[in-house]
Structures are given as structure tokens and as C-alpha cells.
Amino acid sequence: AEYLASLPKHPLKRIAHRLHPKRLAAFWFSKQGAIMMLKIVGVSILITILLGGALVAYYRKDLDAIRPGEIDKRVQTTVTKYYDRNDKLLWEDKGDGDYKLVVKDEQISTYMKQATVAIEDKDFYKHGGVSVTGVVRAALSNTQGNSTQGGSTLTQQLVKQVFFADEESQQRGLAGIPRKIKEMILSIEVEKMYEKDQILNLYLNESPYGGRRNGVESAAQTYFGKTAKDLTLAESALLASVPNQPGLYDPYNIEGHDALVARQQKVLDSMVDMKYITHAQADEAKKVPILDSVKPLADQLDNIRAPHFVLMVRSQLEKNLGKATVGNGGLIVKTTLDLDIQNKLEQSMTDMFNSSWPSYAGFTNGAGVVEDVKTGQIVAMLGSRDFKYQGFGQDTAATAFIQPGSSIKPLVFAQLFQNQGEGKQNFGSGSILADTATTFEGGYKPQDADGKFKGNISIRTSLDLSRNIPAIKAMAIAGKDETWKTIRELGNKVTARAIAVRAG
């Protein structure tokens, strides 16, 4: 009663009286306060455990997606490779979007692995998927208004790249918390299912290295013209710098060159701190003018072999499999082409255009197809005089709907030889036809490329010299309708399509 009488009459003053620091301190250091503190801590731990269990249970439906073999399916080569019949590479089609070439762990330079760990996740071989210190450091940095900093481990980055690449740019701040929690849970599970070296290999095969290039093999081939296994220390340090900000550190981004070199040197210093390399090795690598060795950005068709043929095959695949399937890449395409025969065909075309014959005969382009007549398979194909020839080089004359040219002459004579019967003149390879100036029906006055006439010559000689007028006379004698009928019966259903083209 005396205590109650001593309390202030006003309610607010009474509350303030009870919350006085001295009274609160006395309560918490009393037996009752200690019991209350234990209750609060116990309930908090229980709520945390229940909440964590609920989150794990909720996201367990996604665990199947990260089991061994499943991530491998997502981290796959997206480049389609075209080979000739003898397994010689014709082209690596990188598509129009981002692409990657996936390689095994032993096909990546040790320097590249060490450089990546040193700059991205120094505790990679110590943590279990999530770095508590990294999360705390990032949270403090971000709450202090510094530039946005991530606390993600290499494992988290791998999970993010494989599962949340589209979501990451759309969910920032508080909206991204559920995704971040899911990312951490999956990262812990990934660490349980995969060895550290497997995780690092998957990361190196998936990470962005500037522009359209994903995966260290794609980057090594593009920037340095070599495989990831052969990367030097300086080259590895440069590539390890890129994934942090692929847009800024893209070696083809001239404005970011100073920042890229600075980060490369930071990577080398970090490798020294991790005792991966010595100070002397780092200093030697820093002296290398690394950006001078970066190859110029080339068109994806630069290294294509038999381009007209390969692009025709790709077009056929798009019709049969769909553009989406071909666009996703990762296909291995073995064709009927024989690269050795293709090279001979291309050399013959080059030799012809280096001669005086095109100027003499009055033509500027040529095409050719070599076919295995037993199977109908194309073993060599050239659509123009040179794929890079300005104006029409990339057009494919070999498949164009044009006149069949001299290839039809043997078929015309074949019909003439069959033109036998009562009252008809019999013809053979030794029969004579006049190669003279002639005006045919409709006022048509043909001539040959040389503008000359050979006079009376045998059909054998006429065919050997590919003379035009004797062949036209042969069709007139045998009959046009009968000749077309024979040609179709021999297998040429569309007589207007070029079977082969002989210049002139």
C-alpha cells in the first residue's frame, strides 16, 4: 500500500517511473529478470529454428534441381559444332546471344583457378556454401551508404548464375530477400552434394567474361586465341577480373581498360597473399602489356570452312528441328562434306579466277558441287568464287534456280541416241552435227563464249568442247517434249535447278 501510494498519480508518469534505468537494471539483474531473459532467449531460438526449418522445407522442392548431374545439364556448351565426314571441324556456331564452351576441370589452367579463388572467395575451401563474415561485411557496407556490395561465396554465385540469372536484375533491396534466402539454402545443399573442385569448375564454365562470352574456355579462345588450359599467369589474372563487372571489365571496352588493369594487379596481389604465387611472379606478370595481346574482335563467320555448305546445313536443321532448338546450341552436327575435296574445289576456283579465262569468257562468278553419285551425298560445295567477295560472295549460286547450263548437254544427246525407228536417222557419238551460225525458232541466234564456230564436228567432240549449237540442234531433232521426258525419268524432277555449272 505504501509503494502504491508512492507512485505518481498520472499514468504516463507512472510508466516513466517504472522504466527508469536504475529500476530496469535492478530488475534484469534480479532472479526474476534472469528467468525472464532465459525465456526470451529460448523462445527466440525456438522461433529461429522453426522459421529456418519451415524455409528449408519450403525450398526442398528445388533440391532435385541441384543434385549431381542436374546442374551439369544446365551448365552445358551452347556452341553447335559442325564436322565433315572425317570429323574435321568446319565451324563453331556461337549463335546470336550469349554462348559458352564447357570444358573439364583438367582443361583449365591452375593459375585461372587460383586467381578466381583469390579475388572472388578467399575462404572458398573453408566455408560450407555461405560465408557469415561476408554477409555481415556486405550488410554493414550497404547500410552505411557505400556502393552495393555482395557477400556471396563462389557457390552462391554459381547458384545465382544457374537458377536466378533473370530474377537478380529484377529483385533488389527488400524484394530480393526471399531469393537471397533461397540462394543461401541451395548453396549449402550444393556444398553437401559436390566436391569443391567440381563447384569451382562449374563456376568457371558458367561465369560471364564480357560481351557474349560465358565460361573461361570461350573467353580464352576469343581474347587470347588459346585454350583455357594454356592460359598464362597474366592472362588468368586478367580473365579472373572480369566476372565482377563484365560490362566494365570487358577487354573490348576501351573505356574500362584502366580499371581492368588495376583489378588484374589486385588479383595478382591477392594470389600472393594466398601464397599461390611469389612476389617475383606477380611483379613479372604485372610487367606484361596484357591488353596488347588481346586479339581483335572478329566476326563469328571468320573461321568457318565451306561456308555456303555449312550455312545451308544450318538452315536445313532449323526447318527440321526448329529455330529455337538450333538457337539454343550444344549440337554436334556431322555432315557429308569431305574437307579435303572441298579444299581442292576451292583451290580450283581460285586458280581459274587467277587465270585469263574469266576475262576471255566474260564471267565474274562461279560455283560448284561435287556429289557422290552412288549415295547422292554432297562431298564438296562452293556457292561463289569466294564467300568474302564483295557484292555477291555470300549468295549461293550452286542452289539458285538458274539455267542448268552445259550439264544438260549429255542428257540431250542421250535422248538423241534413243531416237531410232523407221524413217528416223540413227545417231551415235561419232555422228556429225554442224557447229555453224544458225537462227532457230523465234529468231534465236546462239553462239559460244569464244564467239567462233567449229564447222562440222562429231557429237563426241562437240560434247568434249561443250559447244552450244550442236546440242541445240540435237534437241530440235529429238524433240523438246521427248527430251524433257527423258531427263525427268533419269531423276531430274526440276530441270530448272542447277545440277552443276560450267563457266561459259
Who has greater pLDDT, 351 or 401?
351
Residue-level pLDDT at 388: 87
Neighbours of 247 (CB within 10 A): 11
Who has greater pLDDT, 355 or 45?
355
Q: What is the mean pLDDT of residues 209-217?
A: 90
Return the amino acid letter for 479: G
**Which is it for strands 213-214 and 455-458: parallel, antiparallel or unpaired?**
unpaired
The DSSP 8-state label assigned to residue 89 in this structure reads E
What does the DSSP assignment read for 129-169? S--HHHHHHHHHHHHTT-S------HHHHHHHHHH-HHHHT
Q: What is the mean pLDDT of residues 233-244?
A: 96
Average pLDDT, the chain: 83
Who has greater pLDDT, 246 or 324?
246
147: burial class by Cβ within 10 Å (0-12, 13-18, 19+)?
exposed
The helices-and-strands tally (H runs, E runs) of the chain is 24, 9
Neighbours of 144 (CB within 10 A): 7
Phi (first) and psi of residue 444, to 5 degrees? -75, 120
Q: What is the mean pLDDT of residues 356-370?
A: 89
Exposure of 365 in the CB half-sphere (CA atoms within 13 A): 17
Residue 177 pLDDT greater than 90, yes or no: no
Which is it for the CA torsion 95, 347, 352, 503, positive or negative?
Answer: negative
Whole-number Å distance between alpha carbons of 218 and 208 = 10
Whole-number Å distance between alpha carbons of 445 and 69 = 72
Residue 86 pLDDT greater than 70, yes or no: yes
Whole-number Å distance between alpha carbons of 263 and 237 = 9
Between the ranges 55-69, 156-170, 233-247, 425-439, where is the mean pLDDT highest?
233-247
What does the DSSP assignment read for 252-309? T-GGGHHHHHHHHHHHHHHHHHTTSS-HHHHHHHHTS-GGGGSPPP--TTTT-SSHHH
Whole-number Å distance between alpha carbons of 94 and 305 = 15
- The percentage of the chain sitting over the pLDDT mark of 90, rounded to a whole number, equals 45
Least confident of 34-48, 188-202, 249-263, 426-440: 34-48
Residue-level pLDDT at 490: 81
Q: How large is the greatest C-alpha to C-alpha distance in the chain, in angstroms?
A: 149
- Read off the C-alpha cell for 96: 546470336
Residue 11 pLDDT greater than 80, yes or no: no
Residue-level pLDDT at 361: 79
- What is the distance between the terminal CA atoms of the chain, rounded to a whole angstrom? 126
Residue-level pLDDT at 47: 81
What are the C-alpha distances in Å from 134 to residues 137, 139, 391? 5, 9, 58
278: burial class by Cβ within 10 Å (0-12, 13-18, 19+)?
exposed
> H/E element holding 425?
none
Q: What is the mean pLDDT of residues 467-482?
A: 91
Whole-number Å distance between alpha carbons of 419 and 35 = 119
Neighbours of 267 (CB within 10 A): 24
- The percentage of the chain sitting over the pLDDT mark of 70, rounded to a whole number, equals 80
